[in-house]
């Protein structure tokens, strides 16, 4: 029996032949054990598709166990290119029988030549690659997408290489010479301004961190995280002709806005549109637009007053609240709400919030005389501040004149003034008093009224001092009357709260989170105040004890002044401020952090080093000791971030009751005891 076999032609060593792709196999002696990555195969496939096979494969005939040729060839050199062609065949770009140019090598060891191909070659320096990509774009007119397709990389990678290739040639040479790392070169590529790149490079000292380079390059621009950029938005800014600088190598969170003047103009224009809508809808006399809140405007401010809801609104509110409570109870134990129920909750919350807003309103007269500031908030939203009254729009107060008693002028101390003489004889006035009181039906004389009320005042002082709960109401009333009402004298306690504006002492303090929280708390109380100050006593006395204490604490807090002025000598007052901070366990790390703007840029290098030494380590301080002042401050800001370090002026002494040696804090039952004890006094005061 005979078998038909197809003869395989004998090919000489070194001969170049074209072998069908499906007749090529990976050589089992190939030195590369780690598989080619998908990205590598993709890039080779793209290159071959664009330019053909620039390098042939090196192969040897496969033989069976008896040494006979099988008709297949083993690839010793070029396995990656073989895989790339297989990928193209899989994608139907070529046939499986595509002829591949190969060189036959039966003389060399396949293991050695596969190793040799990967070892005895020098990769192109990245700088040469960056500049070569740039040359393709500039001289051949190829865009990032076309270059990416021809080299099997993404368009983003091409854009990165093009940006790197556009770096200042001087810095590129420094990179070639090893004076810059690739990360540092990427940082310089943030801008295409060669002069700016060179300027920043020349100013580099110890700190060559890429983040420092980026920050220095962009310090004249506005980051996309800035409140102005957030408010305007990238689309509106670009439509107005603004350019956004993008960082292709890091998460730039939206880039950097290059035209600061344009950005500020767009902010003002958008705020003005919002202000115009508010004025048209609400009828205020004036609106004023500012990027920064106009601190120290000196205007009196009014707040909305409580008003009764209409029957229709009250019914709608009650219905919405009832449904909300019912749904809350029904789905109290549910792990996840059904979509329709979750949507209904949102609708009810919006409806309740909308009706809640109707519970407070400004007086129409105040709207007719008052105005609104529309400013940009720290979080990039329009901040609407209503109810400011300019001095010329204030209602005129009645003129104060020297009081007249029984037709006789008296001075501020109640002494009679005769013929311009404030030292007149009071006996004459008493004689007149005796004569006048003989007339039936005539009111008591002013002098007698003063005499009697003086005795009443003494009695009030004695009695009030014995009833601390009512005293708390009286003091709270006096503070609230002067804090929330303008130009009235509705309190009988001679307590004068003075609240110093802090805006003139620390730039930007009114825009801090602490100041905003304080303003919100004040506005909340102001909205609850009765419209007529005559009703204030009943309002305060009708509050529960916790609310009275909260109102008292708020009013008292506004009078705190711990600011140190260079010309003031108040050591005892500042000692008291320290004790107060200890008593309330003030933690300034929640309200302040050391930055170049707040501290580090405003103190000496010695202070900066001392802070780093204390908060971080001696080694960290020694590392930055040779830097220039600005660079030292910026580096220290990074080092101190998250450490909780505070300058001595902002530190609070640990209260004694928090130390381990002290007994435990009072229990809840002990704290509640005084409230129960004085509940009756509060009820009497309210009546």
What pLDDT is recorded for position 424?
A: 46
Name the least confident of 60-74, 92-106, 377-391, 409-423. 409-423
Domain-located, residue 115: yes
Q: Average pLDDT in the 226-254 region?
A: 88
CA atoms within 13 A on the CB side of 224: 18
Sequential DSSP letters for 157-219: HHHHHHHHHTS-HHHHHHHHTTSS-HHHHHHHTT---HHHHHHHHHT--S---HHHHHHHHTT
Residue 36 domain boundaries: 16-119
What is each CA distance from 482 to 76, 396, 417, 493, in whole angstroms? 94, 18, 32, 11
pLDDT value for 275: 95
pLDDT for residue 681 is more than 80: no
Q: Let me know if residue 220 belongs to a domain.
A: no
Establish if 49 belongs to a structural domain.
yes
The Cα–Cα gap between 472 and 464 comes to: 10
- The answer to whether position 27 is within a domain reads yes
The mean of the pLDDT values for the chain is 82
Q: Render pLDDT for 94-127 as a digit per residue (tens, 0 to 9).
A: 999 999 999 999 889 999 888 888 787 777 788 8
In order of 141, 404, 410, 411, 416, the CA distances from 401 in angstroms are 88, 9, 10, 10, 14
pLDDT at 420: 45
For residue 686, name the pLDDT band (cuts at 50, 70, 90): very low
Across the range 9-15, mean pLDDT stands at: 75
Taking 50 as the threshold, does the pLDDT of residue 231 lie above it? yes
Which residue bears the tokens 């591949």?
100
Using CA atoms, how far apart are residues 143 and 125, in angstroms rounded to an integer?
A: 23
449 in a domain, yes or no? no
CATH code assigned at 111: 3.90.1530.30
Tokens 């709608």 — which residue? 316
In the block, which residue shows the tokens 């004389």? 445
For residues 343-349, average pLDDT:
89
Contacts of 24 (CB under 8 A, 6+ apart): 57, 59, 72, 73, 75, 82, 100, 102
Total domains in the fold of the chain: 1
Give the three-class secondary structure for 497. coil
CA 104, 108, 112: angle at the middle one, nearest 5? 120
Which of 78-87, 290-299, 550-559, 573-582 has the highest average model confidence (pLDDT)?
78-87
The verdict on residue 103 lying in a domain is yes
- Whether residue 79 lies inside any domain: the answer is yes
* Cα–Cα distance, 113 to 110 (Å, whole number): 5
Task: Let me know if residue 35 belongs to a domain.
Answer: yes
CA 241 to mean position of chain CA atoms: 27
Residue linked to tokens 């190598």: 249
Q: What is the mean pLDDT of residues 65-94?
A: 92
Report pLDDT digits (tens) over 150-160.
Answer: 887 888 888 88
Each residue's pLDDT tens digit, 590-624? 888 899 888 898 899 999 999 999 999 999 999 98
Question: With 50 as the cut, is the pLDDT of residue 656 above it?
Answer: yes
- In this predicted model, which residue has the larger pLDDT, 673 or 643? 643
Q: pLDDT digit string (tens) for 518-544? A: 888 888 888 888 878 888 899 999 999
Instruction: Express each pLDDT in 259-275 by its tens digit.
Output: 999 999 999 999 999 99
Q: Is the pLDDT of residue 169 over 80?
A: yes
User: To the nearest whole percent, how much of the chain has pLDDT over 70?
Assistant: 86
Instruction: Give residue 438's pLDDT band: very low, low, confident or very high (50, 70, 90).
Output: low
Reply yes or no on whether the pLDDT at 66 is more than 90: no
Does pTM surpass 0.75?
no
């Amino acid at each position: 029996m005979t078998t038909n076999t197809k003869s395989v032609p004998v090919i000489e060593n070194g001969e170049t032949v074209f072998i069908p792709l499906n007749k090529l196999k990976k050589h089992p002696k190939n030195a590369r054990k780690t598989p080619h990555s998908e990205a590598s195969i993709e890039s080779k496939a793209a290159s071959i598709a664009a330019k053909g096979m620039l390098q042939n494969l090196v192969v040897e005939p496969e033989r069976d166990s008896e040494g006979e040729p099988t008709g297949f060839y083993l690839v010793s050199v070029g396995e990656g290119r073989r895989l790339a062609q297989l990928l193209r065949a899989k994608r139907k770009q070529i046939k499986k029988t595509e002829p591949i140019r190969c060189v036959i090598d039966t003389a060399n060891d396949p293991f050695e030549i596969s190793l040799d191909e990967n070892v005895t070659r020098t990769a192109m320096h990245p700088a040469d690659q960056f500049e070569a990509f740039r040359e393709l774009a500039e001289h051949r007119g190829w865009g990032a997408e076309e270059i990416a397709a021809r080299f099997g990389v993404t368009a983003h990678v091409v854009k990165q290489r093009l940006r790197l290739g556009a770096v200042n040639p001087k810095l590129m040479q420094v990179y070639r010479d090893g004076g810059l790392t690739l990360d540092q070169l990427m940082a310089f590529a943030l801008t295409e301004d060669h002069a700016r790149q060179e300027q920043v490079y020349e100013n580099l000292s110890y700190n060559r961190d890429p983040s420092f380079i980026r920050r220095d390059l962009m310090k004249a621009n506005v980051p996309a995280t800035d409140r102005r950029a957030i408010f305007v938005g990238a689309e509106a800014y670009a439509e107005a002709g603004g350019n956004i600088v993008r960082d292709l190598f890091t998460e730039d969170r939206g880039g950097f806005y290059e035209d600061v003047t344009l950005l500020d103009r767009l902010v003002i224009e958008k705020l003005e549109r919002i202000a115009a809508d508010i004025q048209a809808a609400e009828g205020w006399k004036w609106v004023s637009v500012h990027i920064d809140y106009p601190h120290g405007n000196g205007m009196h401010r009014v707040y909305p007053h409580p008003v009764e809801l209409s029957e229709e609104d009250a019914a709608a509110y009650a219905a919405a609240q009832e449904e909300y409570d019912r749904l809350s109870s029904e789905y109290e134990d549910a792990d996840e709400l059904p979509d329709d129920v979750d949507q209904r909750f949102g609708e009810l919350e919006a409806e309740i919030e909308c009706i809640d807003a109707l519970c407070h309103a400004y007086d129409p007269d105040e709207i007719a005389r008052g105005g609104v500031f529309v400013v940009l908030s720290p979080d990039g939203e329009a901040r609407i501040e209503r109810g400011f009254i300019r001095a010329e729009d204030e209602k005129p107060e009645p003129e104060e004149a020297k009081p007249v008693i029984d037709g006789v002028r008296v001075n501020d101390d109640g002494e009679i003034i005769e013929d311009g003489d404030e030292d007149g004889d009071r006996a004459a006035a008493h004689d007149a008093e005796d004569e006048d009181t003989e007339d039936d039906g005539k009111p008591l004389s002013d002098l007698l009224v003063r005499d009697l009320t003086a005795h009443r005042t003494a009695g009030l002082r004695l009695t009030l001092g014995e009833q601390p709960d009512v005293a708390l109401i009286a003091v709270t009333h006096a503070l609230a009357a002067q804090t929330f009402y303008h130009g009235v004298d509705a309190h009988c306690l001679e307590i004068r709260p003075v609240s110093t504006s802090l805006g003139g002492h620390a730039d930007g303090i009114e825009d801090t989170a602490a100041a905003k929280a304080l303003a919100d708390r004040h506005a909340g109380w102001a909205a609850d105040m009765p419209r007529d100050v005559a009703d204030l006593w009943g309002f305060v006395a009708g509050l529960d004890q916790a609310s009275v204490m909260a109102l008292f604490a708020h009013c008292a807090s506004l009078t705190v002044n711990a600011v140190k002025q260079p010309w003031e000598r108040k050591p005892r007052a500042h000692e008291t401020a320290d004790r107060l901070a200890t008593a309330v366990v003030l933690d300034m790390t929640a309200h302040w952090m050391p930055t170049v703007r707040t501290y580090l840029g405003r103190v000496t290098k010695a202070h900066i080093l001392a802070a780093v030494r204390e908060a971080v380590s001696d080694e960290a301080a020694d590392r930055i000791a040779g830097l220039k002042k600005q660079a030292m401050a910026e580096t220290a800001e990074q080092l101190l971030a998250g450490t909780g370090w505070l300058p001595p002026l902002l530190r609070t002494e640990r209260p004694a009751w928090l130390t381990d040696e002290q007994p435990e804090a009072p229990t809840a039952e002990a704290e509640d005891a005084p409230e129960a004890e004085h509940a009756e006094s509060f009820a009497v005061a309210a009546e």
